[in-house]
Amino acid sequence: MPLKLFSEEKSSGAKHVIAIAAGKGGVGKSSVTVNLARALSRLGLTVGVMDTDIYGPSIRKMLPEDQLPQQKGNILIPAVSDGIKMISMAYFRKEHEAAAIRAPIANGIITQFIKSVEWGPLDFLLIDFPPGTGDVQLTLSQQANLSGAIMVTTPQEVAVMDVRKAMNLFEQVKVPFLGIIENMSYFQAPNSQERHYLFGKGGGERLARDYGVPFLGSIPIDPKICQCGDSGQSLFADGDMSPGAADFLKVANNVVSHAAAMKKASQDVLKEFELVWKQL
Ligand SMILES: Nc1ncnc2c1ncn2[C@@H]1O[C@H](COP(=O)(O)OP(=O)(O)OP(=O)(O)O)[C@@H](O)[C@H]1O
Ligand SMILES: [Mg+2]
């Protein structure tokens, strides 16, 4: 009897469900999530963003909605911003209210996000992970049908050290790595050729080599990334692209090709499995 394995179907309806994670807070996970989402969208792909930071959701500010989310019975319809679908805890509590939420409740909210959001067909669902390796991260890694994880780090040794711990969590739950993005790699003043490596040099590439995973690219320190994050404007809004915007497009292209290769590899494994089964 042939065994049917469903490699295409994810509960979210997304072709690729990607965790954007880091070890340390503040290395730029949310900025990377939003700008990667915008860059993928610019490449003509359909993108959703899930902000899983229960205690300090920042994505809504960076990606302000044109359309609010809606609740229809047990189903959540995501917000839409510049064509990007988005769900965040920011919609479910008052702004500025301190979020005193115990871990089991946080887990319940995350499970709700995983199971109840009707994303519709998506090419990429990017999940902005909270920093570290706690309960919520574990729930997400086990339940969100992740295709892979992108690890974000700065070049600094302490950030790289912490990212290794977060990578161990993904390894334990058998989530493959799509690759590493190094953020805040260097600063280059306008009209200057000189790059200043403020947080050290090459930490992200070394990490990628050590783990044998793709290096997806580096993003410089770019004041426009900071300004756009605060104002909710698109980094790609004007034709004159900043260095950060140009590098995000390169990273997005790398993400597309590595995600396709990863999917093909996992489908090949499934085909092989089916062959062996039929032979029995
Ligand atoms: N490449 C960059 N150039 C300039 N500023 C940046 C860059 N990346 C991030 N930032 C800024 O650094 C700060 C932290 O970034 P962000 O909020 O994306 O980090 P995070 O890892 O999501 O933080 P948290 O752990 O709190 O969720 C923000 O003010 C953001 O605008
Ligand atoms: Mg964040």
Phi, psi of 147 (to 5 degrees): -80, -30
Closest of 171, 182, 117, 119 to residue 149, by C-alpha = 171
One pLDDT digit (tens) per residue for the chain, 280 residues: 344 443 433 457 899 999 999 988 899 999 999 999 999 999 999 999 999 988 888 999 999 999 999 998 889 999 999 999 999 989 986 555 556 778 888 888 899 899 999 999 999 999 999 887 788 888 999 899 999 999 999 999 888 889 999 999 899 999 999 999 999 999 999 989 999 999 999 999 999 999 999 999 999 999 999 999 999 999 999 778 999 999 999 999 999 999 999 998 888 777 776 666 666 5
Asked whether 127 lines ligand 1 (CB < 6 A), one says no
Q: Has residue 236 been placed in a domain?
A: yes
Number of structural domains found in the chain = 1
Q: Has residue 107 been placed in a domain?
A: yes
If you take atom 31 of ligand 1, which residue's CA is the nearest one? 226
Q: Has residue 127 been placed in a domain?
A: yes
Q: Has residue 59 been placed in a domain?
A: yes
Taking the C-alpha atoms of residue 128 and residue 33, their distance in angstroms, rounded to an integer, is 6
Asked whether 150 lines ligand 1 (CB < 6 A), one says no
Asked whether 54 lines ligand 1 (CB < 6 A), one says no
Q: Has residue 182 been placed in a domain?
A: yes
Q: Has residue 73 been placed in a domain?
A: yes
* CA distance to 68, 78, 127, per residue, from 14 (Å): 21, 14, 12
Q: Which atom of ligand 1 is least distant from the CA of 244?
A: 1
Segments forming the whole domain that contains residue 167: 14-186+193-279
Check which CATH number belongs to the domain holding 179 and give it.
Answer: 3.40.50.300
Asked whether 51 lines ligand 1 (CB < 6 A), one says no
Residues in CB range of 269: below 8 A, 6 or more apart = none
Q: Which ligand is nearest to the CA of 29?
A: 1
Q: Has residue 150 been placed in a domain?
A: yes
Torsion of CA 272, 210, 38, 147, to 10 degrees: 30
Whole-prediction pTM value?
A: 0.92
Q: Has residue 9 been placed in a domain?
A: no
* CA distance to 22, 35, 39, 119, 222, per residue, from 31 (Å): 12, 6, 12, 21, 11
